[in-house]
């Protein structure tokens, strides 16, 4: 497989959705959790979505409970939380695994295309790395994603052009999305 368009995922109701349905759009694919310290990322994500969706931008939200059980609810409970608390309107898909033997193939592909390069420098980032390493130890070489709210930027041709760890400033993510939309 050579592009994200080659993958299918399940929507919140369990129906197959081809990522190819989003062909020609700039995508931000995100693994999320409702009980994480990074959950407030939903707010700038939704702002970005409202600002750019008319220019061919989509955010694809994939809840995941593999990081300290921070997304324990059902798809409906997670969706309700996100829409009521953050007013999210971007597509939300079925809860998935992003690591291990049951990792969704889309996320294994994304992480292979843009591997983890670190959370950044400083005490806060070192603490997250330590916690992440402990959490992901069970997944061994299939620990593709290190924490919630890892974001992958996809160009209009389906190529993975950037990876943003949850520690990356959301303004930097927005600037990268804006730049990709200008191409």
Catalytic residues: 36
Please answer whether residues 125 and 85 qualify as being in contact, where contact means their C-beta atoms are separated by less than 8 angstroms: no
Edge-to-edge strand ranges of the sheet holding 26-32: 57-63, 26-32, 151-154, 160-164
Number of neighbouring beta carbons within 10 Å of residue 152: 24
Among 60, 35, 25, which residue's Cα sits nearest to residue 45? 60
Kindly provide the residue ranges of all beta strands, DSSP E only, lying in 11-169, ordered along the sequence. Answer: 16-18, 26-32, 57-63, 151-154, 160-164
Residue 31's alpha-carbon distances to 43, 66, 172, in angstroms, are 15, 10, 18
């Amino acid at each position: 497989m050579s592009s994200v368009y080659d993958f299918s995922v399940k929507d919140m109701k369990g129906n197959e959705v081809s990522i190819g349905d989003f062909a020609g759009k700039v995508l931000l694919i995100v693994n999320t959790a409702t009980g994480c310290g990074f959950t407030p990322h939903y707010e700038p994500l939704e702002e970005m979505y409202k600002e750019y969706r008319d220019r061919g931008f989509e955010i694809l939200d994939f809840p995941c409970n593999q990081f300290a059980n921070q997304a324990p609810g059902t798809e409906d409970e997670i969706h309700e939380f996100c829409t009521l608390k953050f007013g999210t309107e971007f597509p939300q898909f079925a809860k998935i695994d992003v690591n291990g033997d049951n990792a969704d193939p889309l996320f294994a592909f994304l992480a292979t295309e843009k591997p983890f390069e670190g959370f950044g420098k400083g005490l806060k980032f070192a603490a997250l790395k330590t916690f992440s390493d402990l959490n992901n130890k069970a997944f061994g070489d299939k620990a593709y994603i290190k924490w919630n709210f890892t974001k992958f930027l996809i160009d209009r041709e389906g190529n993975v052009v950037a990876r943003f760890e949850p520690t990356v400033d959301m303004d930097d993510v927005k600037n990268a999305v804006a730049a990709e939309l200008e191409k």
